[in-house]
Copies of this chain bind each other. A is one copy, B any other.
Amino acid sequence: MDLVNRPRDPVDTNTRTEALNLLKAKGLYKTRARVAVIGVLLQSDSPMSQDQIAQRLRHRYDRVTIYRTLASLRSAGLVHRAFTGNRTWQFELSRNCWEDQCHPHLTCSRCGKTHCLVGLEPPIACRSYNGFVIHRQQVHFEGICPQCSPCAHTDGH
C-alpha cells in the first residue's frame, strides 16, 4: 500500500491524499498510475491529452496504461473527455461539468493548449430538437489564448 507513494511522481502529499479519497469513494483500486493521473489532472486548470499527461509524468507509465487509467476513471465518472479540432481527446476531471453537458473549450492555435471557457453559457439546445434526440453537446472554439496574444490588451478591438 505504500508503493502508491512513489516519490518521483510530481504529486504533492495533499494532492495524493485527494486522489486516494476520490478512488476510495468510487471503489476503485488504488494504484500508482491512477494516483498519478488524477494528481496531474487535479493540478491542471485545463483539459489534457494522453500525451500531455504522459509527458507530465515523465513517461514513467506506458501509453496504454494511461489510456486504460483514463478509461477507468471515466467509467467511474471522475473524468470526462472533450473533443477538439485536432483528433485527440482531451481529458478533464468531472467537477464542474460532465461529458454530456460541458462548458465550451478553446484550443489555442499557437500553443496548442485547450482552455476551459467556464464563463460562457453551455446549453444551446435542449434534449430534443426537430426530431433529433440530443444526448451530448459540446462547443469548441479555435483561436488565441491570452498568454499567446500579448497584443490583446494593447489592441483597440
Binding site for B on A (CB under 8 A): 83-85, 87-89, 104, 106, 109, 115, 117, 119-121, 124-125, 127-146, 149, 152-153, 157
CB–CB B128/A109 < 8 A:
no
CB–CB A131/B143 < 8 A:
no
Complex CA distance for A88 and B83, rounded to whole angstroms: 11
Extra pairs beyond A87-B88, A104-B125, A131-B145 (11, CB < 8 Å): A85-B136, A85-B138, A106-B134, A120-B125, A124-B139, A128-B152, A133-B149, A136-B141, A137-B139, A137-B140, A139-B139
CB–CB B135/A144 < 8 A:
yes
Q: Given A125-B104, A137-B140, A139-B139, are A132 and B157 also a contact pair (CB < 8 Å)?
A: no
A–B Cβ pairs within 8 angstroms, 5 of them: A117-B132, A120-B125, A134-B142, A136-B142, A139-B139
Complex CA distance for A133 and B137, rounded to whole angstroms: 22
Residues of chain B contacted by A124 (CB below 8 angstroms): 104, 120-121, 124, 139
Kindly identify which residue among B89, B117, B119, B131 contacts A146, using a CB–CB cutoff of 8 Å. Answer: B131
Complex CA distance for A54 and B10, rounded to whole angstroms: 47
Nearest B residue to A115 via CB reads B132
CB–CB A143/B152 < 8 A:
no
Residues of chain B contacted by A121 (CB below 8 angstroms): 124
